[in-house]
Amino acid sequence: MNQYYYTIAALPALRLGDKVPIREDVFIQLAADTVRPDHYRVLCKSRWGSLEPTGFPFADRILSWEKELRLELAKARLATVKFSSPQPLPESDGRDLLLEKVKTALALDSPLAVESYLNNLRWSFVEEVSAVHYFNLEALIAYYLKLQLALRQEKFQKITGQEIFEKIYEEVKENLHQHCMWKNMQ
């Protein structure tokens, strides 16, 4: 039987933007104690930004969607700065039409607003694809991905983030300036 009634019933509710009621290590330990070993391995591989397939269609569908989102973001950002990449970006598989959502994200007025929008977009997608899953591995994967988003969102601090962003932005501008000067000297 692949139902995890106890595990899922023991998990606190998550809401993006609220204080996260469970630490990631606590969730992972609960899963290690209550989930089949092969399911536990899939669960642990279900991480945002992972390029390695989990081998489980539900998780791989979400991670593929995330890859498409990142690809569209990269294309849009390169077009915005009018930079041509020495290596072309891979083509989108066209399965997820994310271009309008990416345009909306990049039109926002601050990096914090963009990241919050993208986290909400990810959260909504996970909720949409997991809507019919309640006490199975799919529900645990959805919970874990949402937990990762909630923990990430909780770390956002406007003042510290703005300071870090400005520092990195200045470094990028300086590196670009030096690169352009070097190119002109050749």
DSSP state, 48? Answer: T
What local confidence, expressed as pLDDT, does residue 7 receive? 96
Sequence-distant (6+) residues with CB within 8 A of 60 are 53, 54
What's the distance, CA 156 to chain centroid? 14
pTM for this entry: 0.81
Domain ranges of the chain: 5-155, 157-186
What local confidence, expressed as pLDDT, does residue 161 receive? 62
DSSP state, 180? Answer: H
Sequence-distant (6+) residues with CB within 8 A of 46 are 54, 56, 59, 62, 63, 141, 144, 145
What local confidence, expressed as pLDDT, does residue 94 receive? 60
The span from the CA of 55 to the CA of 46, in Å, is 10
What local confidence, expressed as pLDDT, does residue 184 receive? 65
What local confidence, expressed as pLDDT, does residue 173 receive? 76
The span from the CA of 173 to the CA of 177, in Å, is 6
Mean pLDDT for each 10-residue chunk of the chain (186 residues)?
A: 90 95 98 97 96 95 94 85 69 72 93 94 97 96 98 80 76 74 64
The region, left, alpha or beta by phi > 0 then psi within -120 to 50, assigned to residue 95 is alpha
